[in-house]
Structure 1
Amino acid sequence: MEDPVISKIKNQFDKKGNPAKIPLMSGKQFFEARSEADGVYVDNLKKDPFLPWNIFSESVNCIKENGGKVKKGNATNSRLGDPNLGLDTLEGYIASKVYGCRVGDAVFKRINTVASVLAWAEICENTRGQISLLSEEKELQTEEKELQTCESENEISPAFSAEENKESPGINSFYLHPDSKQTEPRNLEIEIEVKIQKIKELEEQVAGRDEEIGRLKIELKARENFLLEKDSELQVLQEKFTDKSEEAQRLESRLIEKGEEIEGFTEKLREKVENIKTLTEELSAKEREIEELEVSISIKDKDLKTLAEEVITKAGEMRKIEEKLALKERKINTMESMLATAGEKVKKLEKQLSATEGEEKLAVQLREKEEFIKQLKGTLASKEEAFSKVSEENRKYRMQQKLASEGLRQIEEQKASRKWWKRL
């Protein structure tokens, strides 16, 4: 036995035509639906225009399970199980029960079309945000309206029917009682005159009705023309609505794609946030290292100041040593000049010794000169020893200067590295 919901939808297609124009909830827009053996095909679901018969049966079951009223649900920018698209909504129930979707899956939006078909078949009432089953009283009222419409199309003017019914008994009595005509001719003549008068009145009424019927025909024709114009306008609007529906479907698909892109961007953003956290931790570690370096640099600065003071002190001492060394060199130069003068005197004396007489006297002078030369040589040796000491001190001083300049260079490099860390 066929499901009563499916039977009622098929009967509605038989009454209204197949395909049929089905209004949406607002009543201002329509879509075309075609009943087939396997289900209903619609033109406002571009990606999936086919609705199987069980989608309507399951929809009614869902509404009954929820006490005769259920939320529609919204599949736009939502996934199955979200607050707007729970399994307790009709859209979520259909997606899970009919199409096998699972929690977290994206759902194709069909609820407006399904609800409109159920409302068109007079099974449910389609309102904003929810759909409910029609009560039995509403179904009976609908059937009574249909019967009244059929009766109003077939009924005859009550005034005309009443007059006709009044006429018929008199005429029938006239033909059924010939004996009364013979016995009461005068009364019959009066009655005939009355009937003739009534017939004239009826003819006048019929003439007036003919005029009224002509006028009504003209009005009916005008209304038919008006309806034709409205039908053409409605066709144009339906075409526009179809275009808008396709555009809406495209926008929905683009919206779904954008939602997926947003999810991708959100995931990337989470990764960026994690990277930023890691970099922040590394930066804090670097800052701690920089603080430690600043402390060590401050210590090095103090050491540098101390070393600079020591270098300045050593430089003063070295200047004094250089002054002493210069004085010693001047003395040595003086002694060398004196030694050279003494050598010349020795040469002169040797010449005089060879020229003079008296070898003993010359020998004594020669010994004196030799002794004096020994003294000069001893003085010169002591001077050379003092000069070597001064040279050694000078070498040590230059080595200290070199070490001091090397220390200054290292300090400058540390200062430069400190500035680099501060820039970071």
Structure 2
Amino acid sequence: MEDPVVARIKNQFDKKGNPAKIPLMSGKQFFESRAEEDGIYVDNLKNQPFLPWKIFSEAVNFLQENGGKAKKGNATNSRLGDPNLDLNTLEGYIASKIYGCKPGDSVFKRITPIASILAWAEICENTRGQLCLLPEQKEQASESEKAVPVAPKVEKSEEKAEIDSLNSQLANRDAELKSLEIKLAESLQRIKEFEDRVAGSDREISGLREELESGAGKIVALQKSFSDSEENIKDLEEKLAGKEVKLNELEKLISEREGKLGEFGREIVEKNEKIRTLEGILTTKDGAVNDLENQLVQKNEAVNDLENQLVLKDEAIKKLEALITQNSGIIEELKSSLKEKEEVISVFEAGVQEKDSKLQVFLEELAVRDEEIGKLKTELKGYENERNDLGKALKVKIEEIKMLNEKFPAKERAMKKLEESIRVKDQDLKTLAEEVIAKSGKVKGLEEKLTAKERKINTVESRLAASEEKARKLEKQLSGYKGEEKLVEQLREKDELIKQIRCTLVSKEEEVSRLNEENRKYRKQQKLEAEGLRQIEEQKSSKKWWKRL
């Protein structure tokens, strides 16, 4: 046999059409739903549009068990068991019953289309935050239950709700413990990562130290090469000094040879003069001329030899100049190489300084990380302390539960005594109520008397006012007729009458104050009786609470 709720919804689809536009609670917006054999498909649940028929029948059963109305529940930003989504709400009940969710799980929100479809099918009334069965459905539920008393079910549902809330609290505690364990694992993982980073930083430091050592070796090698180059330069300078000395010696030799050549030139001049003198004698002395020619040939050969020697000396001087130019080029190259090496050394020193600064920064970062590690350790200690505190609190709670279980029979005995005392007090209350009813009648009579006396007082006051007015008029008349004694007597009589009226007024006021005092005492007694009734009701409610426990 088909469920009546499902049959009602299908009948509504047959009437209104399939698919159908179903209004939301406001009535201004709609969503489309399509009925199939296994359930309903809606277009406002994104990637989970299917709602099985069982949801609607279970929702109606849940409403019937809760007296025809229940909170909808809110699954947004909540988990099952939270105050907005406990098992006493329709959303939480469906998530637990149909979809098998447990306390602490997140729930997909389905209450909007469910409530709208039930309201559209005229099964429920969809209000803000609450869903109520319509009177027809309540009557059907009452007929189906066949006059089964509701109070025990309500008490069972309350007990079930309390048990579910306790279970949800335990689940929340378990979830908190799990989250704490996860946090501990994460913190341990972070500590491991920090240790790995510290190890990596140690490796980097060792690598940097090796680089520094290699750089220091390179610097030493450069210093050695620099010292070698300085020694080479010194050797070259010494060689240059020796060559300069040799050049000076050669210059001295050349100057000496030039002096000799000058002497030879002077001798040649003298000989030419002699030749000129002897030209006259040539004719006479041919033999002597031939001898002289031979001597001249010899002298020419000597001059050629001297010229050849001069050419060789010029070539030697040119070679020396070339060597000097070569040496100057080598010296300039050495100077440029020295400058380059000095620049390299300055760059290397700058790199070393940068590395030193990086090392300092790295050491500072290491110090900061050490501080962070210390903080994490303190946090870990705090988490461990919290965990220990939670464990102690759980032990205390368990002991309290044991104590409550031990105290429960004593409380039951006390409850029995309270029941007996409540019965006695109920009888006292009945008698008090009868007395209150009787006294209320008396109070009504007193109030009527008070009203009558107040009316009399008002009339007396009006008479007083009239008499005072008359007295004023008489005084005016007296001012006109001072010599008449009758008016004086009338005035005296009026004064006496006024005094009597005032005395009666005073007595009436005293009587009214006495009645007010009696009324106040009676109201105080009524208040005390009401307080006693309230205490008895509280005892009755506490009795019910202990029964539920």
TM-score (norm 1): 0.33
Which structure has more helix as a fraction of its residues?
2
TM-score (norm 2): 0.25
Bigger relative contact order, structure 1 or 2 (CA pairs below 8 A, ≥6 apart): 1
